[in-house]
Structure 1
């Protein structure tokens, strides 16, 4: 029988991996960062990591997608605000 996945826990763990990845990219750079660095930071197994991401490339794609979603939300809320166009542009920049 297949194990049921708790979607909230799954997403929380996935986000934790993305958070650590972001910090490692900022401090080490993507090329110098290894999956082992992530495993060491989170104290998880290689198998656990590959449960969430199939490769380092997929991890980077997921991180970029999350960052773009965050930017989209920020811009969307700014566009829908009551500020003038000039103020919206100032806030955006």
Structure 2
């Protein structure tokens, strides 16, 4: 892990345990084993650190979501399943980052907030588009409001970081499969 990654990793740990406001730059320096000069070499201030934590996760999610959306070789149900798999996988692989993302999002300010919100909105728009395509092509029910379904999708997937235990009875893939079955069972055409 290089110095920048070590600083970011330390910030994630501290923001996740102490909270953004209770964590000082000095706390991050001590945990990372670096000087304040090293922190300020890579990050202008604490808010930029918080923003970068958000960027890491949202950029991964957005890149993978866009790849799914652009794949013309799969139908909407398969795309939706892939989006669920990506979401749950991210919750497992980046759980400390995810915790900070959800708990400290409100502390982003100014252009940092705007950039992050735009990317979050784009992720939601991709899920909405996949569901809408499925409705238009007859794969999914048409009597449901697709924008609400996208919010339900994120409500189900995003909260797995709270309770998902990678060493638990079910694997993350089995959890993804169950979410998909529940979601698609209610969406499937003829399931009214």
Q: What is the aligned partner in structure 2 of residue 21 from structure 1?
A: 11
Matches within 5 A, 1:51-90: 51-80=41-70, 82-90=73-81
Distance (Å, rounded) in 2 between the aligned partners of 1:44 and 1:50? 11
Distance (Å, rounded) in 1 between the aligned partners of 2:74 and 2:15? 35
RMSD (Å), alpha carbons: 2.2
Larger Rg: 2
Distance (Å, rounded) in 2 between the aligned partners of 1:51 and 1:36? 14
Question: 1:46 aligned to 2:31?
Answer: no
Q: What is the aligned partner in structure 2 of residue 3 from structure 1?
A: none
Distance (Å, rounded) in 2 between the aligned partners of 1:73 and 1:63? 16
Structure 1 portions without partners, runs of 5+: 1-8
User: Which of 1 and 2 has higher RCO (CA within 8 Å, sep 6+)?
Assistant: 2
Structure 2 portions without partners, runs of 5+: 85-192
Distance (Å, rounded) in 1 between the aligned partners of 2:52 and 2:9? 11
Q: How many residues are aligned here?
A: 83
